[in-house]
A and B are shown apart, each in its own frame.
Chain A
Amino acid sequence: MDILGNLQSIFKIDLSGLKKLQTKVQIIFQAFSNNKKIVIKGPIIIINTNPLDKNEIIRVQGIIRDAVDKDRIPLLQDDTQKLLEDFKHVDSESVSQNLTAYFKGKIPATDIEALRQSIYVKAVSDRGGDIQKLKRDITARYGNRGKNICNLYSAGYFTSQIQPMYEEMISQPDFSPSDFNTAYEMIVIESPYAVFINREMANESAVKEVRDRIDTAKKYGIRYLNIHGIGEANVDKIVFILEKLRSDFSLPEEIKRQGNVIVVKIQF
């Protein structure tokens, strides 16, 4: 006997109308304080577990076990089910599909996982949802690396910095994937210490950005930052920044440059 047939037998209720809707039927288990054992609302069957007698409990729990073990139906808490459906929706959209397809094989598989989840977190944030637990979930599974990926994606750096950095590097005749790996690792691991210089920043505002980040870093006892830039204009801008701020540095800056990708470590 199938699930609906079994429920019909236990609760002596006619569910024949629902058999035609098989795939659309939802069964929800709740424990609430009234004596109504079963409620039918369209294709939704709500079973109240509180007033069930001993025999009914045994039979209903048997249905639950068979549903999972024999009929292979997932049994999820309603919050998990909602999160799953929402995640699937965001994950199937072009933003997530295109970005993860781009980075697949270029960054570690677990970073792709954290990136997919970060895209979801940003989508929830953009619609005004609460993302605190979601971010905690990512950190709990992937550690600080996951948190950094989430923050980098949220700030737009995967598309505005990391993707262009790869494109710039791969255009170099002596490109090796390890060059990208090294630069990428530095961004992901040290993202709290990263400043990204972009085309939209005027020279003076770029200097201000770095100066502000130095002041903030000092407050937290951080003594260095990595300044990242891609493209000739941004490289020139970083040279300008160094000229303006060099007198504040405790050690000479360390410059790593590959083609038009530059990373400068400054210590203060």
Chain B
Amino acid sequence: MQITFDKSAKSFILESFDKTTNKEGYLVEKGNLKQRVLTQNGQDITEEEFGGIIPGSTIFVKNDLPTVMELSDHLKPSDGHSR
């Protein structure tokens, strides 16, 4: 099974995980607008950059080429993803 969302549904998806976007456009915790959401590499993420969420410890990822290369290496068929 594959689950995706388009740009119009970003905020709905973020809310599912108690996240939102602050005034500067960064993803933050809904309960603490000063607490930015980080990628596995410790980078903050703007709403524009947000590419999705992957299993693990609910990992937020960017929509960029280096991230996609890492996803292609790490997502296995058992993660609901065909290689």
- Residues of A at the B interface (CB closer than 8 Å) are 3, 22-23, 25-32, 49, 57, 61-62, 64-65, 67-69, 71-81, 83-84, 87-88, 91, 113, 116-117, 120-121, 134, 137-138, 140-142
A29-B13, A73-B3, A77-B6 known; A83+B68 contact, CB < 8 A: yes
B64: CB under 8 A from chain A?
yes
**Which residues from A are CB-within-8-Å of B79?**
72-74
Q: Mark B1-36, 1 if CB is under 8 A from A, else 0.
A: 111111111101101110000000000000000000
Which residues of B are interface residues toward A (Cβ below 8 A)?
1-10, 12-13, 15-17, 50-55, 58, 61, 63-69, 71-72, 75, 78-83
Cβ A117 vs Cβ B66 within 8 A:
yes
Chain B residues near A120 (CB-CB < 8 A) = 65, 69
Instruction: List chain B residues, Cβ under 8 A from A28.
Output: 3-6
- Of all chain B residues, the one with the shortest Cβ separation from A113 is B69
Q: Which residues in B have their C-beta under 8 angstroms from that of A25?
A: 1-2
Question: Which 9 A-B residue pairings sit nearest by Cβ, starting from the closest?
Answer: A76-B52, A73-B80, A80-B51, A61-B16, A72-B55, A29-B5, A137-B65, A137-B64, A31-B8
In the complex, are the beta carbons of B55 and A88 less than 8 A apart? no
